[in-house]
Amino acid sequence: MSAEPVPTSPGPWCPDPTRQQRADYTLEDLLGLPDDAPRVELVDGVIQVTPSPTLGHQDISLLLSRWLLQHAPSDLRVAQAVGVGLSFTTSRQPDVLLRRSGLAANRSLLRPEDVILAVEIVSPGTRRTDRIAKPGEYAAAAIPFYWRIEQNPVHLYAYRIGDRVGPGGERQYELITESADVIELTEPFELKLPIAEITP
């Protein structure tokens, strides 16, 4: 009498190495990822697994989300870590975003025109991406506003799409204001945000 073989798990999902080398993943592929796939972003056809955020990062994200929920007008909704398809081969997940209301609740990938504000909270491992790559991609996709939040101490930089054009013909962000104390803006809505209220 022989024992039945014990079924083994094929292991956690990971991107196909051949497709990664060819850089031919698309937004459609992201929608078909299995439920056990890690949090990923798609950059020029290559799937990148995003690192787990720190507690400090998540505290700021939650505090800002709560503040926006309490102060944003009713035609805007807050979301965290939802994918935004910036092009056919690029998708990012802002840490926090303001989107238009009225979108279907089952959406997991937004269009740039759905997003009013994208926010990134800078961590040691994401400095270059959050300071250079993502704002360039968000601006090229015509997301009107971008906020970058630095930690230790918490400092918010608020940008909006300007008339300046980059070397590739894409529009770029211009800095509206920055502060470690209070941010006052008239866009994307009239607000006065004390930085202490988003500081853990």
- Per the CB < 8 A criterion, the answer to whether 151 and 57 are in contact is yes
Instruction: Note down the domain range covering 34.
Output: 17-49
pLDDT of residue 37: 84
Among 6, 29, 49, the domain-final residue is 49
Q: Name the nearest CA neighbour of 190 among 97, 71, 76, 62.
A: 71
> pLDDT tens-digit profile of 68-78?
999 999 999 99
Shared domain for 31 and 126, answered yes or no, is no
Shared domain for 32 and 70, answered yes or no, is no
Q: What percent of the chain has pLDDT over 70?
A: 94
Q: With a cut of 70, which residues of the chain have pLDDT below it? A: 1-11
- Per the CB < 8 A criterion, the answer to whether 86 and 112 are in contact is yes
pLDDT of residue 7: 46
Q: Name the nearest CA neighbour of 51 among 154, 135, 127, 126.
A: 126
77 token code pair: 């909704």
> pLDDT tens-digit profile of 2-48?
455 444 445 678 899 999 999 999 999 988 888 888 889 999 999 99
Residue 31 lies in a domain: yes
CA-CA distance, 156 to 25, in Å (whole number)?
34
pLDDT of residue 122: 95
63 token code pair: 């505090």
pLDDT of residue 4: 52
Shared domain for 112 and 33, answered yes or no, is no
Shared domain for 88 and 74, answered yes or no, is yes
Provide the CATH number for the domain around residue 163.
3.90.1570.10
Contacts of 72 (CB under 8 A, 6+ apart): 78, 98, 189
Shared domain for 75 and 133, answered yes or no, is yes
